[in-house]
A and B are shown apart, each in its own frame.
Chain A
Amino acid sequence: MIQDSTLQRLRRMEIITKNYHALRGLQGMSSGILLLAIATLELGLHRSMYQLMHAAPIAWCGIFLLPFLLRRSIGHYYNRQFGYVQQIQGKKLNRIIGSLVVAVPLLGAILIDSHSMINLPVSVTGLALAWIFFYQWQTTNEFRHHLLIMAFLLLWVSLMPLTGGLTPLSKLLIPGHGGYELVLGLLGTVGGLCDHLLLIRAFRDTRQAYHDQTI
């Protein structure tokens, strides 16, 4: 008779396969590192990204090209090491709705936060980012718990000015002058690393289960 733990392991295999592309975390880390590099430049030179791009446009092309190449080569590493999976293509309408759910709140929040006429006591961009992390956690079978932790952290930091504490920390989440890129870069890097570790652990566990003869 098949055991409960065996059924759980089988289900986990399906979840891993479904979310394999999201778990190739080192690819996401390259974007996080790019954002951290931008943040360091912005904070070091006390300029916004817009000003820096105007100062040295060719250098910026190189900076954006590097993560792209890094992402491609890391993709090859995953294909060689863990194999390739073609995901189930959802309905086109569902994919469009999914993109809108992420993009619209973020763009709206950035507009609100950068509009000098509207001075809200909370970081709306931070709230939008918290929503995106929560949405990502929820749509990937609720097993990437680091996304949920990040969502709660962002929520806490964004609402902090309401309680009168840690206002400078929540100001980091307002676009411009490096803080925003620093937070996103950190989250992208840590999140990517967590995804990669999750993938390694999942593969190791299933192999172990086979060797233990529980599958």
Chain B
Amino acid sequence: MTKPFEELAELNKFIHEPVRLAIMTTLSGCQSADFLFLQQLLGLTVGNLSSHLSKLEEAGMVQIEKQFVGKKPSTMVSSTPSGREAIKRHWQLLEQLQKSAVEAHMQVPGFKGVSLPFDSQLAHDHT
């Protein structure tokens, strides 16, 4: 059995940053989303979101395209194939890490267990 600390070390630190993890998780649920949607859903300021998106674009994880929806300019953001692969792998590791942590706790006397937060349907989608 692998230990939780070993699995923790395997996590991609760049994606694990909370805002970037939220952006990548959101983008994994769609083909592309516009800037406004990400801003509204994540509750971020324009500057904060722009900064994280630029970092993700530099790392080749997202693709940013400026286009017109009707007559209005819109910034569409989508995950690149490598970005999708990275977030899928990251979630697999997080789930694995959580299971290992629960298993480790089970060996502690008096431990009554915890409920896993993962939605069964989504867990299935990611595997």
Contacts and interface: CB of A to CB of B under 8 A. Distances in A.
Interface of A: 2, 4-8, 10-11, 13-18, 20, 79, 81-89, 141-142, 203, 206-211, 215
A75 B36 CA distance: 15
Interface of B: 16, 18-19, 21-22, 25-44, 69, 74, 76, 78, 94, 98, 114, 117-119, 121-122
A17 B26 contact: yes
Contact of B94 (A7, A142, A203): A7
A210 B38 CA distance: 13
B76 to A, nearest CB: 7
B124 to A, nearest CB: 11
A15 to B, nearest CB: 7
A17 B29 contact: yes
A210 B121 contact: no
A140 to B, nearest CB: 10
Contact of B34 (A83, A207, A208): A83
B21 A83 contact: no
Contact of A2 (B30, B33, B94, B118): B94
Contact of B35 (A10, A79, A83): A83
Given A20-B30, A84-B37, A13 B22 contact: yes
Contact of B18 (A15, A203, A211, A215): A215
A68 to B, nearest CB: 17
Nearest to A78: B37
A2 B25 CA distance: 15
B22 A10 contact: yes
A83 B37 contact: yes
A15 B119 contact: yes
A86 B31 CA distance: 5
Contacts of B41: 13, 16-17, 82-83, 203, 206
Contacts of B27: 17
Contact of B28 (A2, A4, A14, A79): A14
A82 B25 contact: no
A115 to B, nearest CB: 38
B34 A84 contact: yes
Contacts of B42: 13, 206-207, 210, 215
A201 to B, nearest CB: 13
B39 A83 contact: yes
A203 B94 CA distance: 24
Contact of A85 (B18, B21, B30, B121): B30
Contacts of A7: 94, 98, 117-118
9 contacts: A2-B18, A4-B98, A6-B18, A86-B31, A87-B31, A142-B121, A206-B42, A209-B43, A215-B19
